[in-house]
Structure 1
Amino acid sequence: MKKIISIFIACIIITLVGCSGDGHEGEAKTPSGSSVQKGRDYEEVVNEFKEKGFKNMRTEKLEDLVTGWLTKDGEVESVSVDGDQDYSPDQWYSNDVEVVITYHTFPEKEERDTGSDDEKSSAKNDKSKNEKEEKSNSDTKEKSNNDSSAESKPKIVTVENNEDFAAVLAVKDEADPIIGEFAKKNEGRTVEFDGYIANMMLHGNYKTRYNILILAGDYGQTINNGPSFQFKDVNIVSDLKLTGSNIPDTIGTGQNLHITAAIEGYDENSGLFRLDPISTEIR
C-alpha cells in the first residue's frame, strides 16, 4: 500500500514540474519574423500565432486592391508584436501583448442614400441604355425620312471617322464653344479615344468612388489639347470596366488609357465634358 501511495505522489510532483518548469508561464514565443510573414495568407499567420500561445490578435485591412492579380486578396503586408514590426523569431513575449496583422483586400461596397455601388452602376447603365434606345429610335425615325443622313453617322465616334470630334480633341482652349456644341449634338452617343488620368480624387465623403479628370493623348506630353473630360462619381472596379493585358492593382494620375464612353453632356460653368465609361483599356 505504501508503495502505491509513493508512486502516486511521485506522479503529482512530475506533473507539477512539467507544467511550470520551462520558466515561461504566461508567455508566448514568436514564430518567423515579420519579413517572412509578408506575402502569406493572413488567416494562416493568425493561426500560427495562436498556436504559439498569443491571445490578443487584431487584423487590419488595406482596402487597396483593384484586380488582385499581382497582390492576392488576404495577402499579409506586415505583422507587429507589441508595436514592433522588426521583432525577432523565437522571442518570448507576454501572451497578452497585441499582435497586429495587416493584409491587402478589396474595398467594401458602400451603402449609399440612393443604393449600393452595384445598384448605382446598374442604374447608370439603365440610364445609358435608355438614352441609347431613345437615340436609336430617333435615328430610325430620321432614317425613314432621310436614309442618307442616318447612314452618315457611325455607331462609335472616333477621330478617324468624325471630323467634328477630331476638331474637338485639337482645340487649344478647353472652353472653346465647339466643345459644348459637339456635346449637345452628340449626347448619348459613344466616343472612343486615347487619353490619360490627369487627376483623381474621392467623390464627396466616399472611400471607393472617384471623380476622374481625363485629358486626350499620352501622359507626359508637353502640350495638352482638347476638353477636360470627366468620369464623375465612379467606382474603379464596377464602373470603369478595366480591360487590357496588364491591369495593375491600382490606378492613378498618369495612367494611359484607351477610353470608350457615352457622352453625358458638357457643363459650361465648370468646363467639364462628362462621360459615362463603357470600357477602359489600360495602355
Structure 2
Amino acid sequence: IDEIEALSSIYGEDWCVVDEDEKIYCIKIGDCLDQPKWSLCLQVILPPGYPAAEPPIYQLNAPWLRGQDYVQLANSLEEIYLQNLGESIIYLWVEKIREVLIEKAQSSGPEPDIKKTTEEADEADGDDFLLEYQPIQEDPIQMLNCLASESQEGDEELPPIHHGNPITDRRSTFQAHLAPVVTPRQVKRVLEKLYENKKIASATHNIYAYRIFCEDKQTFLQDCEDDGETAAGGRLLHLMQILNVQNVLVVVSRWYGGILLGPDRFKHINNCARSVLVE
C-alpha cells in the first residue's frame, strides 16, 4: 500500500488505478522530451505474495514494441526482479523503461515505426471466416535461414507436431501448435510444414516463439515473431519463460472474424499456448 501511494504521488496523472480490489495499475511512461516520441504503457497486477514471494504480473503495451525490442525489455525487468528479490520494484521498473525510451529518443531520428495491426486496420472482408489463401507478407522462415545454415547436421528429422484445441470468441478462432525442437533448423522445418497446410497459411496471424537450451554454452537460444499482432510474440515467449519450458516451438494461429476483441485476443493467445504446453 505504501508503494502504491508513493508511486501515485511521484507520477501523478500518469499513474492510473485500473482495479483497486484486484490491485491492477497502469502507468504511462515517456522519454521525457517536451514532445515525447517514444512512450509505452506498463500494466501491473500485484499478486497476494508481492513483494515478499511473488513478482508482479505485467504487460508492456506500445504499437512499436514487438519482437526483439519486447524480449530485451522484458529480460531487463526480470533481471531487476531477480536482483531485488523480496523488495518493491515497480519504481525501478518504471525508471528502467524510461531509461530505454530516452536512449531510443537520443539514438533515433525518425518517429517509431508503427505497423498497423489487424485489429487497428480496417478489415475489407471481415465477414469471411477464412481469408482466401495468400502468401505470408513477411516470411518468418527467411529470418531463420542464417541461423539454420549454421547447423551442420544436414537434413534433420521433422519433429512431431501437436495441434491444440481451438478457442473461438466472436467469430475469431485461435489454435496453438507445438513441436519439440533442439536446433533452429528444426524450427524452420516445423514452420515450413505448418505453412504447407492451407488453412494455417491463410491465418490472419501466425504468432510463434521458441526456446532452445544450448548445453555447451549453458544459455538459451530464443526468439519470437508477432506476424503483425503487436507484441504478441514477446508475450508468448514471456509465458514460456515463466513456465520454464525449453526445447520447444509454439505457434498460435489466429483467424480474424471481423469483430474486434481488444485485449481479450492476448488472453486467448496465451490460454491456447498454455493448454498445449501443459498437455
Structure with the bigger percentage of strand: 1
Normalising by the smaller structure, the TM-score range is under 0.3
Structure with the bigger percentage of helix: 2
Bigger radius of gyration: 1
